């Protein structure tokens, strides 16, 4: 039956009728492309991603491919290799019919670096956060065990220094190479880095130490293999801390957005009001309402 489905689909190659409208985004590094187009007059999004090279078929690739020499210099030479199609597939995802929302979602968004002085925070950013009423109900559901309770790996129930630790949704938990955990504070009044003062040092130190201990005992990773950090701006305004494998280039671990928790602790130890006085830099996407606010204030 499986074969029949395949054959039916092959004879009716849905993409042969696909008319490309625009490339929404692409990545030369990851070998992906996101394309918007139409199938029989209706919107569709097609995502192509070249597949990782399978080590199991390397010898077949070497023996069964055609090689075209491009360049030779001393001991170095480069070729274009044409492999048999079944050893070199392209993962294809079709969204059909697609809505305008799908098309927007896959559209590349430019980012801009904002410079936020302490004054900018209080006059632009904070009012914006408050007027948006971003809901963190889903975070409260986790803390109250109304949702995702089976995913919690560790909890410290102290209302001031406690937290829950659970895997981030981006991690499939199949290998530690790309380990990604999130610690969510039980304390509810800290929106971001900007609210942290010396009062919160015991909380930050507790999250760092107990998080490191749990990861060592559960996953066998010592603290020297971990990158532990906060985002600014965070993606939701309730204090949380990211734990990722040092060898894994996690999205959002770049210097423009991530703040090592060890640095945050040192900064507050030196100056309890460090994050209420400091100029902070962070990236915002072109469609972020906060960017519009900074533009309106003449700060861009």
- Rule CB under 8 A: which of 65-94 touch its own copies? 65-69, 75-86, 88-94
Count of residues that interact with its own copies, criterion CB under 8 A: 92
Smallest distance from the beta carbon of 95 to its own copies, in angstroms? 6
Q: How far is the CB of 293 from its own copies (least distance, A)?
A: 15
Q: Is 245 a catalytic residue?
A: no
Chain Cα centroid distance, residue 100: 23
Residues 15-44 within binding reach of its own copies (CB under 8 A): 15-16, 18, 20, 23, 26-33, 35
What is the Cα–Cα distance from 295 to 175, expressed in whole angstroms?
43
Return the sign of the alpha-carbon dihedral for residues 189, 193, 194, 196. positive
56 binds its own copies (CB under 8 A): no
Nearer to its own copies, 127 or 254 (CB): 254
One residue of 21, 50, 157, 213 binding its own copies per CB under 8 A: 50
Any contact of residue 270 with its own copies (CB under 8 A)? yes
DSSP letter at 232?
S
Backbone φ, ψ for residue 138 (5° rounding): -65, -30
Beta bridge partners of 67: 81
Report the half-sphere exposure of 6 (CA within 13 A, side-chain side): 3
Query: What count of Cα atoms within 13 Å lies in the side-chain half-sphere of residue 187?
Result: 20
Asked if 244 contacts 226 with a C-beta cutoff of 8 angstroms, the reply is yes
How far is Cα 294 from Cα 176, in angstroms, rounded to an integer? 40
Q: Which is nearer to its own copies, 177 or 189 (CB)?
A: 177
Binders of its own copies in range 145-184 (CB under 8 A): none
Piece in contact with its own copies (CB under 8 A), picked from 149-157, 191-199, 208-216, 259-267:
259-267
Binding its own copies (rule: CB under 8 A), the pick from 21, 40, 104, 115 is 115
Cβ proximity to its own copies: between 26 and 155 the closer is: 26
Taking the least distance from each CB to its own copies, the nearer of 160 and 295 is 295
Of these residues, 36, 200, 238, 240, which one is catalytic? 240
Helix (H, G, I), strand (E, B) or coil at 38: strand
Nearest to its own copies of 89, 158 (CB atom): 89
Backbone CA torsion sign across 218, 221, 224, 227: negative
């Amino acid at each position: 039956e499986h074969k029949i489905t395949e054959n039916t689909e092959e004879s009716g190659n849905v993409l042969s009728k696909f008319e490309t409208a625009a490339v929404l985004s692409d990545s030369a590094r990851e070998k992906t492309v996101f394309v918007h187009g139409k199938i029989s007059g209706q919107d569709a999004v097609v995502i192509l991603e070249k597949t990782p090279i399978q080590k199991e078929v390397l010898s077949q690739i070497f023996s069964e491919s055609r090689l075209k020499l491009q360049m030779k210099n001393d001991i170095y030479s480069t070729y274009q290799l044409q492999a048999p199609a079944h050893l070199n597939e392209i993962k294809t995802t079709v969204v059909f019919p697609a809505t305008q929302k799908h098309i927007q979602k896959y559209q590349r968004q430019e980012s801009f670096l904002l410079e936020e002085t302490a004054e900018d925070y209080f006059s632009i950013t904070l009012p914006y956060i408050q007027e948006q009423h971003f809901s963190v109900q889903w975070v409260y559901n986790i803390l109250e065990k109304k949702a995702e309770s089976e995913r919690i790996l560790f909890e410290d129930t102290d209302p001031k220094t406690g937290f829950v630790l659970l895997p981030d949704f981006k991690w499939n938990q199949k290998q530690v190479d790309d380990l990604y955990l999130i610690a969510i504070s039980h304390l509810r009044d800290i929106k971001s880095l900007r609210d942290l003062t010396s009062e919160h040092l015991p909380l930050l130190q507790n999250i760092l130490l107990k998080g490191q201990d749990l990861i060592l005992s559960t996953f066998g990773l010592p603290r020297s293999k971990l990158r532990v950090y906060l985002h600014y701006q965070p993606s939701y305004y309730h204090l949380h801390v990211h734990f990722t494998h040092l060898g894994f280039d996690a999205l959002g671990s770049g210097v423009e957005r991530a703040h090592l928790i060890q640095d945050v602790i040192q900064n507050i130890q030196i100056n309890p009001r460090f994050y209420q006085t400091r100029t902070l830099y962070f990236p915002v996407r072109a469609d972020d309402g906060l960017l519009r606010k900074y533009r309106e204030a003449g700060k861009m």
